[in-house]
Chains A and B, each alone.
Chain A
Amino acid sequence: GAGVSQSPRYKVAKRGQDVALRCDPISGHVSLFWYQQALGQGPEFLTYFQNEAQLDKSGLPSDRFFAERPEGSVSTLKIQRTQQEDSAVYLCASSLDAGKDGYTFGSGTRLTVV
């Protein structure tokens, strides 16, 4: 497709459940970011990939969060043993050139932990 695609669009998880969020970047885009956005706040950085290499994961809030991009295209953000504070919109962004001319964001996955 022409844009960054994220699925599912909405996810409701029971506390303690594991979830997996998918990001399909624009074809050929080298750089991929994950952000977390709490209600009423700006997006906050989670992790960065360049191709299949995860170059920065300093924003992941705990070891329950794990991201991968094994073939340098599709990326998955996994959250284990979800907690209520994990409720947020998870945004994926990709770029051809490490964001020199801006990133293209997906519409996000809204995760609600009940």
Chain B
Amino acid sequence: DAKTTQPTSMDCAEGRAANLPCNHSTISGNEYVYWYRQIHSQGPQYIIHGLKNNETNEMASLIITEDRKSSTLILPHATLRDTAVYYCIVRDRLDYGQNFVFGPGTRLSVLP
């Protein structure tokens, strides 16, 4: 079973920031938070991952609470192409072979 809970769906206006929450209250000390997204008819796409510090890359920012029990993925200026299902996953980064357990994710709709 997935170790994360996410809202089923969210809407965001084009050009605004999309903030996608994720709860992972049972996360262990060795587990990282990973985010993937899946655009219709494509395979999942890696977005970002982090342990306890906030992370930023060209796609998004990841904010992890100090107790690590929740996180937020931020798409700073959402476009229509960001419409997708977003998956939050926790995984031991160094457990080679541990698979990614996907939950149902959050369906983000970016509206014009």
- Compute the total of residue contacts between A and B using a CB distance below 8 Å: 59
Determine the distance from Cα of A98 to Cα of B96 in the docked complex, in whole angstroms: 5
Q: Is the CB of A45 within 8 A of B42?
A: no
Minimum CB–CB distance from A24 to chain B (whole Å) comes to: 13
The verdict on A107 contacting chain B, using a C-beta distance below 8 Å, is yes
Q: How far is the CA of A93 from the CA of B46 in the complex (A)?
A: 11
- Contact pick for B43, options A59, A93, A99, CB 8 Å: A93
Pairwise interchain contact A42-B87, C-beta atoms closer than 8 A: yes
Do A55 and B105 have beta carbons less than 8 Å apart? no
Bound form: Cα–Cα A99–B45 in Å:
13
Q: Identify the closest chain A residue to B99 (Cβ).
A: A45
Interface range on chain B (Cβ under 8 Å from partner)? 20 to 34
* Residues in B whose Cβ lies below 8 Å from that of A82: none
Residue of A nearest to B94 (CB): A100
Q: Determine if B43 and A107 form an interchain contact, defined as CB atoms under 8 angstroms apart.
A: yes
What residue of chain A has the Cβ atom nearest to residue B32's Cβ?
A100
Q: Are B44 and A43 in contact (CB-based, < 8 A)?
A: yes
Residue in B closest to A59 when the chains form the complex, CB atoms: B99
Name the A residues within 8 Å of B104 (CB-CB). Answer: 41-42
